[in-house]
């Protein structure tokens, strides 16, 4: 009797689905994913420089040990995440098989950058200014590292240290553009264009948020006297 019940429960767990046909997981699985998804997306975004590092001559500037250490650390984090998900889903290895994207990310972490694009759906939502600015900061730091890698050994380049690259990144993303540091390589200039666009979008979002806050304060200030007037008239 108990063996039959156990097998039935296992079968139900295996075939449990939501109304839309998607797999149904235990509540603790959903809680874990909800708490860790954004952090893992941020981690994926912060590793863009690892992907571009392959094409920027890291062998010439001695970044191979750092690059390998970061790759291994990120792979370990993704592996631990996959193990925890598999355990909480109560499906074990069957869950891992059903998520080839997570399995590939353990071996090749940059693939998870595409999954982190889900953050873009939240960035322009009302009340997500802190999230937007956090993503913008991560992308700005990535741009600084990438430009440094492109420029550090280029003939005639003046962005030769990471400090120079960080200063250039801040000046560029804020659209100040002092011109004291400028990229000379094709990769560096393409990165500069992307960073300029990021700066323009960031300023637009920040300005819109500030204007929206002032508008809300003005509307609430007008609503209070009207409410008091209505209350006094009713009395």
With 80 as the cut, is the pLDDT of residue 152 above it?
yes
Which of 118, 148, 165 finishes a domain? 118
Report CA torsion sign: 151, 156, 158, 162: positive
> Angle at which helices 27-45 and 129-151 pack, to 10 degrees?
40
Core vs surface per residue 215-225: b (16+ CB within 10 A) or e = eeeeeeeeeee
| Total domains present in the chain | 2
> Angle at which helices 186-234 and 162-173 pack, to 10 degrees?
40
Residue 199, domain extent:
124-220
Residue 83 to residue 171: CA distance in whole angstroms: 42
Note whether 136 and 111 are same-domain residues: no
Which of 102, 118, 134 finishes a domain? 118
Could you tell me if residue 13 is inside a domain?
no
Note whether 82 and 106 are same-domain residues: yes
Report CA torsion sign: 96, 102, 104, 107: negative
pLDDT tens sequence across 2-58 = 444 444 444 444 445 554 455 688 899 999 998 998 888 888 888 887 776 665 555
- Across 57-83, average pLDDT: 78
Could you tell me if residue 140 is inside a domain?
yes
Does the predicted model carry a pTM greater than 0.85? no
> Nearest 5°: phi and psi at 189?
-70, -35
Note whether 175 and 216 are same-domain residues: yes
Q: Which two tokens stand for residue 11?
A: 């079968």
Note whether 136 and 94 are same-domain residues: no
Query: Which of 11, 36, 54, 35 lies closest to 187 in space, CA to CA?
Result: 54
Note whether 164 and 100 are same-domain residues: no
Q: Are 151 and 145 in contact (CB under 8 A)?
A: no
Note whether 128 and 215 are same-domain residues: yes
Stretch among 39-53, 126-140, 147-161, 212-226 having the lowest mean pLDDT: 212-226
Core vs surface per residue 119-146: b (16+ CB within 10 A) or e = beeebeeeebbebbebbbebbbbbbbbb
Note the pLDDT of residue 51. Answer: 72
Could you tell me if residue 9 is inside a domain?
no
Note whether 52 and 113 are same-domain residues: yes
The residue that leads in pLDDT, 118 or 22, is 118
Note whether 143 and 96 are same-domain residues: no
Note whether 137 and 176 are same-domain residues: yes
Note the pLDDT of residue 11. Answer: 44
Nearest 10 degrees: CA dihedral of 144, 186, 53, 116?
70
- Domain of 212: which CATH number? 1.10.287.70
Q: Is 117 left (phi over 0), alpha (psi -120 to 50) or beta?
A: alpha
Q: Is 126 left (phi over 0), alpha (psi -120 to 50) or beta?
A: beta
Note whether 189 and 112 are same-domain residues: no
Note whether 65 and 135 are same-domain residues: no
Note whether 135 and 216 are same-domain residues: yes
pLDDT tens sequence across 81-117 = 999 999 999 998 899 999 998 999 898 887 888 877 7
The three-class DSSP label of residue 17 is strand
Could you tell me if residue 2 is inside a domain?
no
Which of 74, 94, 118 finishes a domain? 118
Could you tell me if residue 8 is inside a domain?
no
Note the pLDDT of residue 125. Answer: 65
Note the pLDDT of residue 150. Answer: 86
Could you tell me if residue 97 is inside a domain?
yes
């Amino acid at each position: 009797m108990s063996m039959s019940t156990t097998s039935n429960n296992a079968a139900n767990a295996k075939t449990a689905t939501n109304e839309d046909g998607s797999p149904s997981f235990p509540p603790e699985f959903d809680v874990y994913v909800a708490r860790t998804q954004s952090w893992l997306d941020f981690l994926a975004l912060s590793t863009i420089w690892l992907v571009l590092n392959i094409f920027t001559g890291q062998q010439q500037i001695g970044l191979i040990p750092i690059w390998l250490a970061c790759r291994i650390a990120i792979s370990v984090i993704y592996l631990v995440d996959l193990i925890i998900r598999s355990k909480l889903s109560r499906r074990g290895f069957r869950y891992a098989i059903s998520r080839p994207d997570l399995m590939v990310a353990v071996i090749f972490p940059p693939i998870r950058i595409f999954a982190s694009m889900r953050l873009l759906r939240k960035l322009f939502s009302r009340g997500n200014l802190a999230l937007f600015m956090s993503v913008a900061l991560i992308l700005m730091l990535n741009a600084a590292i990438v430009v440094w890698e492109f420029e550090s050994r280029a003939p005639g380049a003046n962005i030769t240290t990471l400090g120079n690259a960080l200063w250039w990144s801040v000046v560029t993303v804020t659209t100040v553009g002092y011109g004291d540091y400028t990229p000379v390589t094709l990769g560096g200039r393409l990165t500069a264009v992307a960073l300029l666009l990021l700066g323009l979008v960031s300023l637009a979002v920040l300005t819109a948020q500030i204007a929206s806050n002032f508008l809300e304060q003005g509307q609430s200030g007008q609503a209070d006297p009207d409410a008091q007037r209505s209350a006094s008239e009713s009395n």
